[in-house]
């Protein structure tokens, strides 16, 4: 049985093993539709941008800014979700594309 009451509701997967008893198998949120770049507002998702930077081995915004050829203040503005020019967004995305994410071991 899958239940969804509306947007943002959790999916519920349950199985009837015995008459009158329901065992919950998994409860999870629906897949996220978060995007790194929002062309409508001309801004980045700050948390996703910071995560993308760190996952590719840069120690932080300062190091990423130096390697991408952008001003540090420009990259900090992008991380703070302020609008940036299309050319700036393209340079950020190109810099991210130059490095593959570092494989992370699964914990748990």
| CATH code of the domain containing 50 | 1.10.260
H helices within 1-108, ranges in order? 46-55, 61-68, 72-79, 86-97
Specify whether 47 is located in the same domain as 64: yes
Specify whether 27 is located in the same domain as 50: no
Confidence of residue 96 (pLDDT cuts 50, 70, 90): very high
Number of domains within the chain: 2
Domain that holds residue 56: 37-97
Specify whether 73 is located in the same domain as 93: yes
Specify whether 48 is located in the same domain as 89: yes
Specify whether 13 is located in the same domain as 45: no
The whole model's pTM is what? 0.67
CB atoms under 10 Å from CB of 11, counted, come to 13
Q: What does the pLDDT read at residue 50?
A: 95
Domain-embedded: residue 60 = yes
């Amino acid at each position: 049985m899958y239940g969804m009451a509306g947007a943002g509701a959790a999916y519920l997967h349950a199985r009837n093993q015995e008459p009158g008893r329901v065992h919950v198998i998994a409860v999870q949120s629906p897949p996220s539709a978060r995007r790194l770049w929002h062309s409508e507002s001309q801004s980045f998702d700050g948390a996703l941008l910071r995560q993308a930077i760190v996952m590719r081995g840069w120690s932080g915004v300062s190091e990423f800014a130096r390697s991408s050829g952008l001003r540090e203040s420009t990259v900090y503005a992008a991380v703070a979700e302020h609008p940036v020019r299309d050319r700036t967004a393209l340079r950020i995305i190109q810099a991210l594309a130059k490095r593959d994410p570092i494989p992370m071991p699964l914990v748990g």
